[in-house]
Amino acid sequence: MNFFIYYYFHVDFCVERINQLVMNILYIQSSHTSPEVRLNSAEKILNLKGRSSPENSLDFYQKIYDSVDQYFISEKNLTLNVMFEYFNTSSSKCLFVLFRKLKNYLDIGNDITINWFYEEYDEDMLETGEDFATIIDVDLNLIEVPDGQDIDDYGTMTGR
């Protein structure tokens, strides 16, 4: 009897873990210089979260570009949540490329939502989001994170 209970829970755990691995097309754990990146096909969400100043931004973001292209082979909608505390100039250029790529997918009929999270008193991050929206000519939802709430905790991996 105990064997069957163990077997049932073990199989259930393994199936759940396989589903997690299959649904996450891309997962990159955050570091002190790079953001957490999670592209989840089941939830149709791409999250960029934390700080972005990797040593080689082009190499880091190329993985994201490739994964987005792979994602849109079979999917038609995506929500991008950008929850940065800080990003450097080279990351900004890479974000521009990512936004242009998403704009191209939007222009051919895909449904794309971009959420730009910024801390309540961070005028620079708000203005940067506004600038991206204007330059790319895309609707970008500017979402203020209330004072005292950690931006890393505000947006969960499934949105707000």
Task: For 95-138, write each residue's pLDDT tens digit.
Answer: 999 999 999 999 999 999 999 999 999 999 999 999 999 999 98
- Largest CA-CA distance found in the chain, in angstroms, rounded: 64
Q: d(Cα 111, Cα 128) in Å, to the nearest integer?
A: 23
Distances (CA, A) of 114 to 5, 141, 143: 45, 6, 10
Q: d(Cα 3, Cα 104) in Å, to the nearest integer?
A: 54
Q: What is the pLDDT of residues 5-18, one digit of tens each?
A: 444 445 444 544 45
pTM higher than the cut 0.85: no
Strand pairing category for 77-87 and 45-52: parallel
Under CATH, to which class is 26-154 assigned?
Answer: alpha beta
pLDDT at 159 over 50: no
